[in-house]
Amino acid sequence: MTKDDLRIIFMGTPEFAVETLKALVENEYHVVAVVTQPDKPVGRHGSVLQPSAVKQYALEKGLPVLQPEKMKDPVFVEQLRSYQANLQVVVAFRMLPEIVWAMPEYGTFNVHAALLPQYRGAAPINWAVINGETQTGVTTFFLDHDIDTGRIIMQIPFDIPDDADVEYVYDGLMHLGADICLKTLEAIVAADGHPVSVAQENSQLSTLNSQLKPAPKIFKETCEIDWSKTAKRVYDFIRGLSPYPGAWTTLVTPEGKETVLKIFKTRKTGIKTTAEKGAISIEGKTLMVAAVDEWLAIEELQLAGKKRMSARDFLNGMKDMESYIIK
């Protein structure tokens, strides 16, 4: 079997997936079609339709694009079958029904931005940083009935520096995801379509980590900072949501007016405190907030309705900040 024998359908939506699709195209794999989400209404009245990043790239390369509303739609299923793909590659897409993932002769594999079985779910990059992990990675696995539970084909680790935010890890895994996809395709070709794969419960990571950590979808409520946590936990939480969607807290004026304050970057000070959680301290031009054990220095933030700025610039425009509280 050679790479020319593969007829691949690619499925993905965001920028993260484009890097892998680009790798397939540039390495001359035969991508017969691309499946992505329907165009998304944007603008004040939702009157403008914005195509996904994957669709934009696919059209640039002259690839056929399918955008089903429902993955079980019989018209879409027949359209998919008409391309006679013998392999499907999925990156950052929605859950697929069995009629779709089981269609190709060699199955459907997914590129997941975590070292499975850890961090199954929609937001594995965010949760790895939020939980203070020092390492994550990418996994390719065959899809089955449940989310992110299929047999593992290949894994590549990625180190997370203590000062890294989600943007850094996202960029690293985006490129590593493209690399592991190419390596997985090479393994599939070498094994005539049937590479060695391992059940997740028998994987090394499963035996080393008895407690599995999930990676559920993140909502606005998820992003609220809990100042009753340790400074380290708050520090990791903020960088795990920076720059998007952004961790937030509530700034309360001396008069009791409340405003949402997003925080994008902090610094651990190591300075112990017995102050009330959320208390504010100004040391020179440094804005500090009390966690349960230590003061945390705020470095970049954004007040509702304002632009993102340094804490120093923020303090220059504020008066009597120590009479404010954060909750």
Interval 309-313 mean pLDDT: 96
pLDDT band (50, 70, 90) for residue 319: confident
Looking at per-residue confidence, does 210 or 222 come out higher?
222
pLDDT of residue 322: 85
Interval 118-144 mean pLDDT: 97
Task: Give the pTM.
Answer: 0.94
The lowest-confidence range among 43-57, 105-119, 125-139, 304-318 is 43-57
Query: What is the phi/psi pair of residue 136, to 5°?
Result: -135, -145
pLDDT band (50, 70, 90) for residue 206: low
- The whole-chain average pLDDT of the chain stands at 95
pLDDT at 105 over 70: yes
CA distances from 171 to 113, 158, 223 (A): 11, 11, 21
pLDDT of residue 179: 98
303 - beta bridge partners?
A: 261
pLDDT of residue 144: 94
CA distances from 287 to 254, 267, 320, 324 (A): 17, 10, 12, 12
pLDDT at 3 over 80: yes
Interval 192-218 mean pLDDT: 84
Most confident region among 155-159, 203-207, 303-307 by mean pLDDT: 155-159
Q: Quick check: helix, strand or coil at residue 145? A: coil
For helices 53-60 and 15-26, angle between their N-to-C axes, nearest 10 degrees: 20
Which H or E run includes 88? Answer: strand 87-91
pLDDT at 234 over 60: yes
The lowest-confidence range among 49-53, 238-242, 247-251, 321-325 is 321-325
- Give dist(CA 93, CA 95) in Å, integer: 7
pLDDT band (50, 70, 90) for residue 231: very high
CA dihedral 193, 29, 69, 73 (to 10 degrees): -40
Q: Are 169 and 127 in contact (CB under 8 A)?
A: no
- The structure tokens listed for 239 are 């960088």
